[in-house]
Structure 1
Amino acid sequence: MPATVSDVIAALDAAYPRELAEDWDAVGLVCGDPAEPVERVLVCVDPVEATVAEAVELGAQLIVAHHPLLLRGVHGVPADTAKGRLVHRLIRSGIALFCAHTNADAARPGVSDALAEALGLTVSRPLAPHANGETGIGRIGELAEPEPFAAFVRRVAGALPATRPGVYGAGAEDRPIRTVAVSGGAGDGYLGAATEAGVDAYVTADLRHHPAGEHLERVGEAPALVGVTHWASEWPWCAQAAAVVRAVGGVDAHVSTRCTDPWNIRGQEEAQ
């Protein structure tokens, strides 16, 4: 018997239990028939025009995305709206859409484990643990050997897919880095947790000016900061989720190669 959408969902739910999702989140099957057979799956960060087109070209019957398509409540999905247009294209193309968001963030292994692995870190614990101490947001890990902060920033840049904004660091170039906190996605809400953990550096996305500046001005040595784009920080998870899908058997899982980071022009380079 061929694998079905329901079979793949069962595997994903086991890896990323829905009870780990935040109350405000929208995870699970967005559209599609659980009983339909699946031979090919596309795993991506964002369910957008580019990745839906990629799934159509691939001949996929299912998209597994990290970010929800319909995070806020809607009263309709007319085809003359951006998200409605995607829903209609998915249904017309026979492609189901499944989203694993904050449940994939908190699961172990999850999004931040994939990010830590990409950076060469050995993970010890969550940055913001749940009551069980095993699951939670972010991860704390350690490099095999300490290295100067400037070299560590280059390590991050080399480990993640290239984006136009790139990777940026805030800290003394020669500061030794050994212990590192990471949080895939927007993580400046965990600056305090990273400081309390006593790590040498914190890697996350969507760092805002005031929280980052206030963090660096703290009395005592705060962790150096490495900023990356939201998409790049979560993209390593796609390979992890694809492995979960392949374990179902008879299903070919592909990791999306299309950059869905919204920033595509770098002004400094244009001015040179």
Structure 2
Amino acid sequence: MPALSDVVAALEALWPAGRAEPWDAVGTVCGDPDARVERVLFAVDPVREVVDEAVELGADLLVTHHPLYLRGTSTVSAGTFKGRVVHTLIKNDVALHVAHTNADRADPGVSDALAGALGLRVTGPLVPDADAPDDPAGRRGLGRLGELDAPVPLREFADRAAASLPRTATGLRVAGDPAGEVRTAAVCGGSGDGLFDAVRAAGVDVYVTADLRHHPVSEAQQHAALAAGGRPYLIDAGHWATEWPWCEQAAAQLDAISDRNAWGLRTHVSRIVTDPWTTHSAAPTASTAGPPTPHASLAPTSPEQPA
């Protein structure tokens, strides 16, 4: 069995800490470099439920996408939820390693896994890394651009995405003509409304990401209606759901390294849903439900129109 330091070196080769954003907090949070590693658990969030799963599994190492301590702290008291996570990990000899924006920018990275789950053929990064002499093919960077084998209506593409990504309480939010044709796409795992300029410049049919806010989406739609015939359409698939496919990709990458080095590692992927939203309530469709529709005289009167 390899030492933790050996496994961490392999993870750092996949996702070098130097490629993380300056504000990020990546790398090893806790763990004895000399400890032996046999089982590794991958997950999106280092929350209590996932840490308990790692302990129950007998994992020696937990690898998460999201940092435990993204901002500075002055305590690891077990009276705080993050402190309790640290205490639980250390008491049970479980190391914690984080790969966040360094995994976003990697080749392959978080958005490659998302594109693969959506059935897209990746054609390049949405925002390529600048000045990267060690990336001559230009495949590293934020987000990904991709193509479908054949065009489909937006409604069908969204349905495929909902079926392919982990299910969450909120599901997918879609903005655009359901019958509009989709052939090209941009994707960004996690929060992606800061990349709208790059998405527009790419000229894609649809953009799949998460955490889309009202004003950026409204402005993007208005811009699309004026200049791009309603495109790009937008799909908000949820933060956790768009990043979870990376866990399976990352586990497979570590499996390959383990096989080459005859380490005999046993990798696992957490299937605990750590999306923070737990319930979705939709308004009834009956016309008498809820407050009157604003500008009712301008609203469609078909039975399918939501209240």
TM-score, structure 1 normalization: 0.97
Structure 2, gaps ≥5 residues long:
133-137, 287-307
Q: Does 1:266 align with 2:280?
A: yes
Q: Does 1:252 align with 2:282?
A: no
Contact 1:45 1:231 in 2 (8 A): yes
Q: Which residue is equivalent to 2:99?
A: 100
Q: Please give the alpha-carbon distance, in whole angstroms, between the structure 2 residues aligned to 1:32 and 1:266.
A: 39
1:115 Cα deviation after fit = 0.3
Q: Does 1:17 align with 2:22?
A: no
Q: Please give the alpha-carbon distance, in whole angstroms, between the structure 2 residues aligned to 1:147 and 1:25.
A: 38
SS of the residue corresponding to residue 86 of structure 2 reads helix
Q: Please give the alpha-carbon distance, in whole angstroms, between the structure 1 residues aligned to 2:95 and 2:176.
A: 45
Q: Please give the alpha-carbon distance, in whole angstroms, between the structure 2 residues aligned to 1:116 and 1:269.
A: 32
Q: Does 1:61 align with 2:60?
A: yes
1:62 Cα deviation after fit = 0.5
Q: Which residue is equivalent to 2:146?
A: 141
1:134 Cα deviation after fit = 2.4
Higher-RCO chain (CA-CA 8 Å, sequence separation at least 6): 1
Identify which of 217, 221, 246 aligns with 1:237.
246
1:57 Cα deviation after fit = 1.0
Q: What fraction of aligned residue pairs are identical, expressed as a percent?
A: 54
SS of the residue corresponding to residue 268 of structure 1 reads coil
- List aligned pairs for 1:133-172, cutoff 5 A: 133-172=138-177
Change in Cα spacing, 1:270 to 1:100, as seen in structure 2 (3 Å) is: farther
Q: C-alpha deviations, 1:189-224, integer Å up to 9, x for none?
A: 011111110000000000001100100001212300
Q: Does 1:220 align with 2:213?
A: no
Q: Please give the alpha-carbon distance, in whole angstroms, between the structure 1 residues aligned to 2:285 and 2:198.
A: 39
- List aligned pairs for 1:65-104, cutoff 5 A: 65-104=64-103
Change in Cα spacing, 1:269 to 1:12, as seen in structure 2 (3 Å) is: farther
Q: Which residue is equivalent to 1:35?
A: 34
Contact 1:205 1:230 in 2 (8 A): yes
Paired residue type of 1:142:
E
1:269 Cα deviation after fit = 7.5
Contact 1:11 1:244 in 2 (8 A): no
Contact 1:105 1:112 in 2 (8 A): yes
Q: Which residue is equivalent to 1:194?
A: 199
Q: Which residue is equivalent to 2:186?
A: 181
Q: C-alpha deviations, 1:120-152, integer Å up to 9, x for none?
A: 111111111111332110000000101000000
Q: Please give the alpha-carbon distance, in whole angstroms, between the structure 2 residues aligned to 1:206 and 1:254.
A: 27
Q: Please give the alpha-carbon distance, in whole angstroms, between the structure 2 residues aligned to 1:85 and 1:17.
A: 28
- Which 4+ stretches in 1 moved above 6 angstroms? 269-272
Q: Please give the alpha-carbon distance, in whole angstroms, between the structure 2 residues aligned to 1:134 and 1:119.
A: 19
Q: Please give the alpha-carbon distance, in whole angstroms, between the structure 2 residues aligned to 1:172 and 1:252.
A: 45
Paired residue type of 1:37:
R
SS of the residue corresponding to residue 76 of structure 2 reads coil
TM-score, structure 2 normalization: 0.86
1:270 Cα deviation after fit = 9.7
Contact 1:42 1:55 in 2 (8 A): yes
Q: Please give the alpha-carbon distance, in whole angstroms, between the structure 2 residues aligned to 1:69 and 1:78.
A: 14
Counting matched residue pairs gives: 271
Structure 1, gaps ≥5 residues long:
none
Q: C-alpha deviations, 1:43-79, integer Å up to 9, x for none?
A: 0000001100110111101100000000101122111
Q: Please give the alpha-carbon distance, in whole angstroms, between the structure 1 residues aligned to 2:168 and 2:201.
A: 31
CA RMSD of aligned residues (A): 1.4
SS of the residue corresponding to residue 142 of structure 1 reads strand
SS of the residue corresponding to residue 145 of structure 1 reads strand
Contact 1:65 1:99 in 2 (8 A): yes
Name which of structure 1's ranges 82-91 and 123-132 shifts more when overlaid on structure 2.
Answer: 123-132
Larger Rg, first or second structure (1 or 2): 2
